[in-house]
Structure 1
Amino acid sequence: MTAVGPLDAMFLLGETREQAMHVGGLMLFELPEGAGREFVSRLYQEMLAVDSVSPMFARRVRNRPVDLGYWSWEQDDEIDLEYHLRLSALARPGRYRELFELTSRLHGTLLDRRRPLWEMHLIEGVEGHRFALYTKVHHALLDGVSALRLMQQMLTTDPARTGMPAPFALPDSPPSSVQRDQSRLGLFGRAVADLAELPAVGLRSAVRALRAEHPPGAFQAPRTIFNQPITGSRRFAAQSWPMERLEKVRALTGATLNDVMLAMCGGALRRYLQEQNALPDKGLTALVPVSLRGAEGNGPGGANSLATLIADLATDERDPGRRLRRIMDSTSRGKRTLSELSPVQNLMIGALGIGSAGPAAVLPGLAGRTTPPFNLVISNIPGPAESPLYWNQSRLLGMYPASIVLNGQALNISVTSYDQQLHFGLTGCRRTVPHLQRLLVHLEHALQELEKL
């Protein structure tokens, strides 16, 4: 039996029909030259024919009375690959619009807890001689960084290579080596010890560190249309931007690339809310996860190794230059404090940041009636350094994260990098966030504003 990590358990406990707790990703591929109509279906059959499934993807969650309410993992010895693997085709004309509509429906359905917590969908019929692969995995099993690294293992720089395995058939899955090596008591003891090592002594010091990390007014964000009750339906939209454009802004302003990305989001959200006649006088804030994993993928906290900081998006600021400087100030302050803490101490800060959205997420009727701790989550997940990459001779064109939205946190923006581009994936509640795709237009406008600085 393998214990579920404490942060991982939060994603199991907080899941409802309206609030699915899985992360996903949409990968867009170009069919190899000369590929026939049967190419994608043949890939599907090859994936079904694998001899074995890695232990990571063959385990399911368990919560029995004998376990005293604690979650644990057990192996599924009779995994049904035909259930977890699906083959779909887009309705004509197979535009990105139809692709994102299908992805939205797939992302809005819960994973079956009686089975291993993942699904993979091969999607054929994308216009332009393309196909897609949508994958979703429960957040208790993998965080976004681990999921992306795992997907990279199925890719190669060799355009002629065939026989590349699917992620669920890779011999070594990265996420839970640390989790297996740490007993429940050992992890708890280390956490308690690290809490005692926070600046000064005791709980008061921990609270001071949390306050020092965040900008004034953190955990007191303005109420917006995003901070309302959600339904179980999702809408997904995605687009890519050349990294060169953001790099030019970074070089001119002294900002980091992440700051420029946040400024794009801040400008886009300002325009979007103005369209809805819903822009608050106070600036929006975003919870920004920070991975604690090292180069080899190891980190504290089981499947989820995250710290968090809260960034001021300065949506109340009309001038894009001043907006960017406010964002730079808030992220610099947060990163400075995080650098002074140990990995497990950072994990605690991360749990407090994520957990601060918990009351509205789990208590009926609370979402939209209280002051939100932040307005949305914005994640920047490092992508593969090498490019271009291929899967069974098919060139990878784009990879778009699809993430979690919470009751009271109806919008998520996740970004990853690949092939000199930033790939944005926007996930929102279908009812609470109207016309989500308009945010893509506003992201372009926001970048154009920054390029004029």
Structure 2
Amino acid sequence: MTMIKKSDQQLGGLDTLFLKVEHPRRLMTVTSIWTFKRRLDQKQVYKVLERLCLEYPRFAKTPAHEGFFKPAAWTEPVDWSFQDNIVNHTLEEPTRKALQKYCAEQVVTPFDYTKPLWELHAISGLEDDHYAFFWKAHHALADGEGFIRSLLSTTSLNATLKKLEEQSVVSHRRKKDIASTKKKDSSLTDRPKSSCHKAFAYISVMMNLFWIVLYQIYVYSVVTIHDLYCVFLCVLPVTRKDLYYKGLQSHEKEMAWSDDVSIKDIKIVREAFGGTLNDVMLLVITRCLKSYLESIGKRNDNYISFIIPVSLREPSDWSFQNVVSGSWGFFSMKDLDTRHLLNQVKTEMLAIKNSLGPRMLFETWQWFFSHAPGLSPPMSVYNHICDIPHGVFTNVPGPTVPIDFAGEEIQEYRTFPPQCGKGSIGMALISYSGKVSIGAIADVHRDYPEVANGVCSRVAEEFQLVLDEAKMEISKKNLNSHKKLK
């Protein structure tokens, strides 16, 4: 007998927030595109979807019966089967542009709330007889990690994921135990044997303590300045200039994705300049946006601002629900060289990672909408907050090796987050099989023509410039070290 979790009975506070914050021109829809070399066997697909609905009950339920002081409950729809959420479509032209156009049209189509809030579009008519699946789901179901876990459980990774899930609690505890025993062992074995050793050990400890204190002061000052600036933006009627336009938000959307970038090449950049994979790709995206805006003569802001989602899950938390918050990151569009821009990006990410703001926001919204969803702020408040950043940037880690779905290998794997506000661009960094790419969704508007494609089409070329610079930097270091050895 399957135990029904509390999260599958009632909507959590963040689940409710994603329902409240959307309007017809800004739907909170998470999407993903998978491509295959050939058409999939329908019977196998049906088996997989049936298992998905059983293992993750939210895929078989819809939110209903919300009260003023009572959140909605996940309710089983009457006379529904998962086949009702499958749509078959054949493209008019076998092109990437036709695929992007069809998927963008589905993003702006609201869900039917008499059915579970997800759809699977089986798309044929691609070039070379390829086949595509377009997944579409409401953010109220789960956060990015929840969707990744659920969808990847339908692939050949299922057995591996189950092992990881079983071991996660044990390994998490084991790490704590190991850490505590190490501390005990070190306290016993690291005792200095002489007065000279004691003096050196004392000086070393004091020096380490001094640098730790200095670093913590630096981190807290960076976090404080960052968080105060975020509050300042929320309180005052300040709006960005770039990617913003007058009038109602465009109902029409566009989607695009970049060419792949090798993770091995990203490691070369990191070796030369430091930073994480996220930091490097944020640098590239910032430059791509800057280049696009300058190409149409409309760059006004000195910083591009993104909502950066922050996962608040424990290592052992594999639940299918929203356990996520976020903060704003501000990335310079000034004419900085690569090293200085990457350092600026790293400082922003340091502030986001160490801020208590995301946790406080999560706890506040979780409690508030779990107890009084009827007291939700008016849409104008949501619109103001959502229109402040230029977009959303999220990292979606995917499988490191090719995987199968319903007996067929997934050739390409792409994901797209929802937009945050008018004129904003929703961007996801997707990794799959040793490569990464950028997926983007944006408004269609005459003031910013083809902005999604304008950014994505620049990614590979912009990264190559950074990679060439990194290789030159490494070769200089190697040359200098070789001279010293001589």
TM-score (norm 1): 0.75
Counterpart secondary structure, 2:303: coil
Counterpart secondary structure, 1:155: coil
Q: Does 1:278 align with 2:298?
A: yes
Q: RMSD over aligned Cα, in angstroms? A: 3.6
Match of 1:19 in 2: 26
Aligned partner (choices 419, 435, 445) of residue 461 of structure 2: 445
**Gap change, CA 1:349 and 1:311, over 3 Å in 2:** farther
Q: Does 1:214 align with 2:221?
A: no
Report Cα offsets for 1:42-80 as digits up to 9, x if no partner: 358745995894222111111345x64532221225214
Match of 1:382 in 2: 397
**Gap change, CA 1:297 and 1:133, over 3 Å in 2:** farther
**Gap change, CA 1:345 and 1:48, over 3 Å in 2:** closer
Counterpart secondary structure, 2:310: strand
> Do the aligned residues in 2 keep the contact of 1:222 with 1:283 (CA within 8 Å)?
no
Aligned partner (choices 430, 434, 440) of residue 420 of structure 1: 434
Q: CA deviation at 1:316?
A: 2.1
Aligned partner (choices 230, 243, 253) of residue 226 of structure 1: 243
Q: Does 1:399 align with 2:420?
A: no
Q: CA deviation at 1:272?
A: 1.0
Q: CA deviation at 1:227?
A: 3.7
CA distance in 2, matches of 1:91, 1:46: 26
Report Cα offsets for 1:333-388 as digits up to 9, x if no partner: 322335xx9x9547348989xxxxxx999229966xx9954221100122124x12
1:300-379 to 2 correspondence within 5 Å?
303-337=321-355, 345=360, 347-348=362-363, 362-363=379-380, 373-379=388-394
**Most deviating of 422-431 and 371-380:** 371-380
> Do the aligned residues in 2 keep the contact of 1:222 with 1:371 (CA within 8 Å)?
no
> Do the aligned residues in 2 keep the contact of 1:213 with 1:336 (CA within 8 Å)?
no
Q: Can you give the 5+ residue segments of structure 2 that lack an aligned partner in the other structure?
A: 1-7, 166-219, 368-375, 471-486
Aligned-partner residue type, residue 375 of structure 1: H
State the identity as a percent.
19
Match of 2:36 in 1: 29
> Do the aligned residues in 2 keep the contact of 1:360 with 1:408 (CA within 8 Å)?
no
Counterpart secondary structure, 1:405: coil
Match of 2:203 in 1: none
Match of 2:156 in 1: 156
**Most deviating of 221-230 and 14-23:** 221-230
Counterpart secondary structure, 2:23: coil
Aligned-partner residue type, residue 271 of structure 2: A
CA distance in 2, matches of 1:325, 1:223: 24
**Gap change, CA 1:49 and 1:263, over 3 Å in 2:** closer
Q: CA deviation at 1:292?
A: 1.9
Aligned-partner residue type, residue 315 of structure 1: M
> Do the aligned residues in 2 keep the contact of 1:264 with 1:443 (CA within 8 Å)?
yes
Counterpart secondary structure, 1:313: strand
Aligned partner (choices 4, 8, 16) of residue 15 of structure 2: 8
CA distance in 1, matches of 2:415, 2:83: 24
Q: Does 1:56 align with 2:58?
A: yes
CA distance in 1, matches of 2:225, 2:366: 14
Match of 1:200 in 2: none
CA distance in 2, matches of 1:112, 1:148: 23
> Do the aligned residues in 1 keep the contact of 2:117 with 2:137 (CA within 8 Å)?
yes
**Gap change, CA 1:350 and 1:145, over 3 Å in 2:** farther
**Most deviating of 318-327 and 114-123:** 318-327
1:118-133 to 2 correspondence within 5 Å?
118-133=118-133
**Gap change, CA 1:211 and 1:409, over 3 Å in 2:** farther
Counterpart secondary structure, 2:141: coil
Counterpart secondary structure, 1:427: strand
1:86-125 to 2 correspondence within 5 Å?
86-92=87-93, 94-125=94-125
CA distance in 2, matches of 1:217, 1:260: 24
Q: CA deviation at 1:130?
A: 1.9
CA distance in 2, matches of 1:101, 1:281: 30
Match of 1:189 in 2: none
Counterpart secondary structure, 1:414: strand
1:285-304 to 2 correspondence within 5 Å?
285-298=305-318, 303-304=321-322
**Gap change, CA 1:47 and 1:409, over 3 Å in 2:** farther
Match of 1:266 in 2: 286
**Gap change, CA 1:251 and 1:80, over 3 Å in 2:** same
> Do the aligned residues in 2 keep the contact of 1:143 with 1:303 (CA within 8 Å)?
yes
**Gap change, CA 1:288 and 1:6, over 3 Å in 2:** same
Match of 1:201 in 2: none
Report Cα offsets for 1:196-249 as digits up to 9, x if no partner: xxxxxxxxxxxx999627377446486134344522322111133222222211
Report Cα offsets for 1:118-147 as digits up to 9, x if no partner: 111111122134211111111111212211
Higher share in helix: 2
Report Cα offsets for 1:409-429 as digits up to 9, x if no partner: 521111221100113210111
Aligned-partner residue type, residue 398 of structure 2: G
Q: Can you give the 5+ residue segments of structure 1 that lack an aligned partner in the other structure?
A: 32-38, 158-163, 175-207, 353-358
TM-score (norm 2): 0.70
**Gap change, CA 1:270 and 1:350, over 3 Å in 2:** farther
Report Cα offsets for 1:225-283 as digits up to 9, x if no partner: 43445223221111332222222111111111110011111011100111221212421
Aligned-partner residue type, residue 121 of structure 1: H
Q: CA deviation at 1:308?
A: 2.0
